[in-house]
Structure 1
Amino acid sequence: MFGQRKTCIQVVKGRTRDAAGLREAADRWYRDVAPGAKGWLGTTGGVTDDGVYLNLLRFTSPRAAHRNDRRREQMRWWDEVRGLFVGEVTVEECSDVETFGQGDPDEAGFVQILQTRVLDRDAVRPFVTEEAEHTLARLRPDMIGGLFCISPGGTCTGVAYFTSREAARKGERTDMPPEYKAWRDEQMAHFDDDAVFHDLRDHWLQSP
């Protein structure tokens, strides 16, 4: 999917009343800033129906991410868009990243982002076992793949890429095998119960 290379992900989150303005800003970033962003691997972003902005930027390393943050083009772009947000914008940096699936995320018609907290990271390593991945590939063709990134404080941001929103909703009703359900229930015991799902129906997927 993204390749199993070592990556660093910046998870940017805020709230906006101007989703269209941020979509335009994302296009401008891709056109004017991305060409000089050395080590940038791709971006997944969007705004939910209730105004939550999420943008995940993937870099080859924390050094590459920090180098981009200091570029004049990046700082100029941020100065232009900061007024589109309401309240604080947070940035979490994650070097603990796992991916699953063999599809191309740039082909996704629907993206869903999960945010929660990991109680025991070692107990859920990997997040998706090889056996579970094979089950998903066989029974959930709507799911292209996904990634999990964990901040040093334990916040987990999971991204799932689907062929379409309609296919994802239909796939959610798929009757999964008992062994898969048992594995999933065991996994969920190692997360907080306050998981929040964000649907990005209007999203942007960018890559070099």
Structure 2
Amino acid sequence: MYIQVIQGTCHEEATLKRQLDRWHEDLAPGADGWLGWTCGTTDADLFVGVIRFESREAAQRNSDRPEQGDWWEETSGCFDGEVTFHDCDDVIVLLDGGSDDAGFVQVVQGQIENAQRLRDLMSRPMDELREMRPEIIGGTVAVNDDGWFNQTFAFRSEDEARRGEGQEMPAEQQREWESMMSQVSDMTYLDLHRPWFASAGS
């Protein structure tokens, strides 16, 4: 799987949502290799779009379509200033990978010195996490070549997510987590209270 993360300050959320709905209806049928997206805006009007494709090549084929260029030219007017794109070939699916029925999504971003530590931790069996935090439906971890990462966690509801945050990790997991976090800088938490989802074939 390949993930592209798109971010920018959005001053026209309703218009952007309509544009995404139009893409899903009109352009998605011709976007071979597109798998879906998790999108939304934070309380500070920052749009975050986590777009999933089968591969980087599939994403590039979509970008090269003239209709995609026309759509983006219209859609870019919803943003204030620069829109950033992060391309991640290194993707890990967590638990059930999320759900289009999730009621709350938290996006965690940062820069890690040793990306392999993050890959190793997130690639382990998640039985304990599933038992301890049943409100986490699943998510994805995407890392690009310079160690920038984007973690997306889908929850059944925000209330359940907040209650789960207060639980303590088992001692061994806590030590591993603290060791990894010592290598992370510029950690940012982005809450999507009204997430937008779409999946291929839906």
TM-score (norm 2): 0.94
In the aligned structure 2, how far is the partner of 1:134 from the partner of 1:179?
15
- Describe the superposition over 1:131-189 as per-residue Cα deviations: whole angstroms up to 9, x where unpaired: 5x111100101101111111122211110111111110011012322122112112212
Shift of 1:104: 4.3
* Aligned position for 1:121: 115
Letter in 2 for 1:207: S
In the aligned structure 1, how far is the partner of 2:69 from the partner of 2:102?
30
In the aligned structure 2, how far is the partner of 1:111 from the partner of 1:179?
27
Aligned length: 200
Is 1:58 the counterpart of 2:34 in the alignment? Answer: no
In the aligned structure 2, how far is the partner of 1:158 from the partner of 1:44?
12
* Aligned position for 1:21: 15
Percent identical:
38
Letter in 1 for 2:187: A
Q: 1:46, 1:53 within 8 Å by CA — same for their partners in 2?
A: yes
Q: What RMSD over aligned residues (CA atoms) do the two structures have, in Å?
A: 1.4
Is 1:198 the counterpart of 2:193 in the alignment? Answer: no
Shift of 1:195: 0.5
* Aligned position for 1:207: 199
* Aligned position for 1:81: 75
Deviates more, 1:98-107 or 1:150-159: 98-107
Report the secondary structure of 1:87's partner residue: strand
* Aligned position for 1:48: 42
In the aligned structure 2, how far is the partner of 1:56 from the partner of 1:169?
22
TM-score (norm 1): 0.91
Deviant stretches of 4+, over 4 Å: none
Decide which structure has greater strand share. Answer: 2
Q: Unaligned stretches of 5+ in structure 2?
A: none
Select which of 142, 159, 172 maps to 1:149. Answer: 142
